[in-house]
Structure 1
């Protein structure tokens, strides 16, 4: 299977899950560490528009801002760094993620907006959790005034402002849920 090339200036849905659906995050500290590593390795190479970390999988919505080889290597370094630390902490060895991370190139703005909503609603889809209060998705980072690595202004601009962003997250959104059934 040939992997999608990460083209500069293009938007992508990046996601993966634990091998055999095992947990890739055992606790909130793992999730916080994952986000720090993401920032360390990729903040200068991609713009992050949305993310959600669930116990056995993650979603990222990004725009590539550097050359493909640099971004691909940065993702590799990021995942390797996280897996090594996770394995050491949990006294395990071997692969943590299913094969290579999945990547889907987004081809239009409507799809991009639907995907951002889908990613932020992930806690609700899987565990009927209140997505508004979920700590490990980008929803709070977008609606708050706190400092963030998320491209808040770009996301709010896509939705025409914070009111419409919140409104769209409170609408029924089954289109993408049907597309991503692996979790």
Structure 2
């Protein structure tokens, strides 16, 4: 599979999973550490528009603020630092993630909005959890008054405000619930 070229000022869906579907997070501390390392290595080089950390995979919605070479190296350093710490903590060796992180360039605001919904509803889709209570997604950052590193204002503007942001998430959740009920 040919990997998408990363271009400055473009939006991307970045995702990966554990090798052979194995967990990449075993506890809350792993997820907290992952987010800290993400900030340490990439904040400023990218802007974050959404994320969700599941036990065996993650999703990031980003915009590049630097050139590809700088961002790819920062991602490499980030993933390596996390994998080394995880391997040490769990007394394992070898690769943690699938070979290369996947990336899809987003084309248009509608795609970006739909992806934000998809990423935030991942806990519902994979674990049948209430997405609005899930601690390791960026959804809470958008609806709270707390300071955040997420591009909150830009995303809420994209949705036409916080009320519509919440409404769209609830509509999509209801649709998934109905679809799941009839399967």
Q: Which category describes the TM-score, using the shorter chain as reference length?
A: over 0.9
Which residue pairs with 1:131 in the alignment?
131
Which residue pairs with 1:95 in the alignment?
95
Gaps in structure 1 of 5+ consecutive residues: 176-183
Query: CA offsets, 1:95-118, max 9 Å, x none?
Result: 001110000000111000000011
Which residue pairs with 1:68 in the alignment?
68
Which residue pairs with 1:79 in the alignment?
79
Q: CA RMSD in A?
A: 1.2
CA distance in 1, matches of 2:131, 2:34: 19
Task: Give yes or no for the alignment of 1:48 onto 2:48.
Answer: yes
Which residue pairs with 2:157 in the alignment?
157
CA distance in 2, matches of 1:83, 1:127: 24
Which residue pairs with 1:167 in the alignment?
167
Where 1:6 maps in the other structure, the secondary structure is coil
- 1:4: how far off? 1.0
Q: Would the aligned equivalents of 2:50 and 2:116 in 1 still touch at CA under 8 Å?
A: yes
Task: Give yes or no for the alignment of 1:33 onto 2:33.
Answer: yes
Instruction: Tell me whether 165-174 or 69-78 shows the greater mean CA deviation.
Output: 165-174
With the length of structure 2 as denominator, give the TM-score of the two structures: 0.93
- 1:172: how far off? 2.8
Q: Would the aligned equivalents of 2:14 and 2:101 in 1 still touch at CA under 8 Å?
A: yes
Report which of the two has the higher share of helix: 2
CA distance in 2, matches of 1:80, 1:33: 13
Gaps in structure 2 of 5+ consecutive residues: 177-183
Q: Would the aligned equivalents of 2:7 and 2:64 in 1 still touch at CA under 8 Å?
A: yes
**Number of corresponding residues:** 175
- 1:5: how far off? 1.2
Provide runs of 4+ in structure 1 moved above 2 Å. Answer: 172-175
CA distance in 1, matches of 2:172, 2:133: 18
